[in-house]
Chains A and B, each alone.
Chain A
Amino acid sequence: MITLTEAPFEPGALLAQFCAGRDETGAVASFVGLARAESGQASILELEAYPGFTESAIEAFAVEAAERFELQDWRIVHRVGKIAPGQAVVFVATASKHRRAAFAACDFLMDWLKSRAPFWKKEHGPDGARWIEPTAQDRTDAQRWDV
């Protein structure tokens, strides 16, 4: 399930919820991305999504990932709007029978979310605001999975 939210969320609560009631899941892997202050250069991170379109694209990709890694379940929560340094931007959790698949799928989902998901990112800093494009590293990370 994918949720976009303008409100801050508590990653621990999401993880506890995701782990609850699983007696056939051997492994849950999770990742939390936090907004960085960049030594004062980024006072606010602003993420814009296209409601409806962005969720569908993430859902379609995650369903594919679930097949590829034989996941039992997955959960993605992503902030949109204005995000302060230190706040959680993204939460990803994957559930599978064994740990390798859960780790790999979580890594795979994050690489795609960071580089190709339909978001537009703006950094507000002391010198004004600027739109951010994916870094070369983000692209290389995502390409690791292309086969």
Chain B
Amino acid sequence: MARVLLFGRLADQAGWREREVEAGSLAALRASIANEDAALAQALEGPGVQVAVDKALVRGEAVLAAGVEVAFLPPMSGG
């Protein structure tokens, strides 16, 4: 299980901010989300969206250990 966190406009679009998803990789996680909400999965691949696994930014694919936290971060706006 991965704990998925959405921020900013991604959370508004999804209608949720936090959810447990069964996935062993980032690709599997994206596929699982796409199954349920294709528009959201597309937004998660959108320009400027970064992914953090356990609070560290990752690029491309990543293996997800049990209990990890995966955050999807839309372009940051500054304070």
Contact = CB atoms under 8 A, between A and B. Distances in A.
Interface of A: 33, 47-48, 50, 52-53, 56, 78, 89-90, 112-122, 131-134, 138
A47 B79 contact: yes
Contacts, number: 56
B71 A121 contact: no
A53 B52 contact: yes
A131 B8 contact: yes
Given A50-B73, A52-B55, A53-B52, A131 B9 contact: yes
B47 to A, nearest CB: 12
Interface residues of B, number: 15
Among B55, B74, B75, B76, which residue has the most Cβ atoms of chain A within 10 A?
A: B76
B78 A119 contact: yes
A89 B7 CA distance: 20
B52 A120 contact: no
Nearest to B52: A53
Nearest to A79: B79
B33 interface: no
B77 interface: yes
A44 to B, nearest CB: 15
Contacts of B4: none
A119 B55 contact: no
A121 B71 CA distance: 17
A45 to B, nearest CB: 10
A60 to B, nearest CB: 12
Contact of A89 (B5, B55, B76, B79): B79
Contact of A121 (B5, B12, B55, B77): B77
Contact of B78 (A48, A53, A115): A115
B55 A53 contact: yes
Contacts of A117: 76, 78-79
Contacts of B12: 131
14 contacts: A48-B8, A50-B5, A50-B52, A53-B52, A89-B79, A90-B79, A114-B78, A114-B79, A119-B77, A120-B7, A120-B74, A120-B77, A121-B77, A131-B74
